[in-house]
Structure 1
């Protein structure tokens, strides 16, 4: 499965991507904000992540930026079953290489995945961010997530302990909804 947005191309990981993945996510300042990524991140971890089976209902993508000399890896985004929710809502997760923070790539990729989630029939998506990463909360709010008012304890593989995280949710209404968090703009631009 592939998704094209205004500036980005989202695609599955391929075995030959492991070295580029390792060079970008093998950064403690990136990994410490992620719940399911160990530190230190190794070549074995990169190869194992790429080899994970794909689930069409919980898609995950590498975020790439096409250019004249090919498409460079920017980060990752996808849906997974991280949080235990009563309705089984999937969780949105993402990361961006540190030297590319602040360029809107997480928001753009997040919107694209939310549009796909709506197409897959999901009515609600959840997300969290560790409290020491408020920039991630701003990304979530920018794409239409609302803070639930709850703090949850999330285990962080890189920190080796539970750490407080803010919980968010995004309700996915009909395609003609005015409260789409920019999804329709993303679709029109694609």
Structure 2
């Protein structure tokens, strides 16, 4: 599946994306904000990620920025089934060189519009408390805090449990 937004193209992740993915995510400031990505992040980690099979119900996209010189990969975004069965977990990251330009928010909006069109019912997301920018993006798209402060394991911080805020969004509206 491909999704076009105002400035971005969201597309499947291909095995040959590993170099660009590695260049964007292999930064401790990015990895420490993601629960499941290890630090240090290696080229082998990037290759494995780009080659791993995806679940039928999982939506995972390379966030690319089309332009005159191609369409560089600037991040990834996905929705994957979670508990309960009707909910999907949203996750995303943007390369440091492209942060604070609204690309993360634009990608979230595009994925949520697609999820609604596909009939998904609920999205969930979270962010570590030391990443308030992610919370701002989630609230912009209608996510509501569920009042939970969860101690969440963070692979990028050596598996340490870090406080995270959790959010929900009804996609049925």
Mapped partners of 2:119, 2:172: distance in 1: 10
- Aligned residue runs from structure 1 range 37-186, under 5 A: 37-81=37-81, 85-159=83-157, 160-174=159-173
- Displacement of 1:93 in angstroms is 0.3
Cα shift at 1:115: 1.3
C-alpha displacement at 1:89, in angstroms? Answer: 0.9
The alpha carbon displacement at 1:88 in A equals: 4.3
SS of 2:77's equivalent? strand
Alignment partner of 2:156: what SS?
Answer: coil
| Inter-partner Cα distance in structure 2 for 1:56 and 1:64 | 22
Structure 2 portions without partners, runs of 5+: none
RMSD: 1.3
TM-score with structure 2 setting the length: 0.95
Cα distance in 1 between the residues matched to 2:56 and 2:70? 26
How many residue pairs were aligned?
172
Matching residue of 1:13: 13
Call closer, same or farther: CA 1:65–1:91 in 2, change over 3 Å.
same
Normalised by the length of structure 1, the TM-score is 0.86
Aligned residue for 2:72, secondary structure, equals: strand
SS across alignment from 2:97: helix
Aligned counterparts of 2:66 and 2:12: Cα–Cα separation in 1? 15
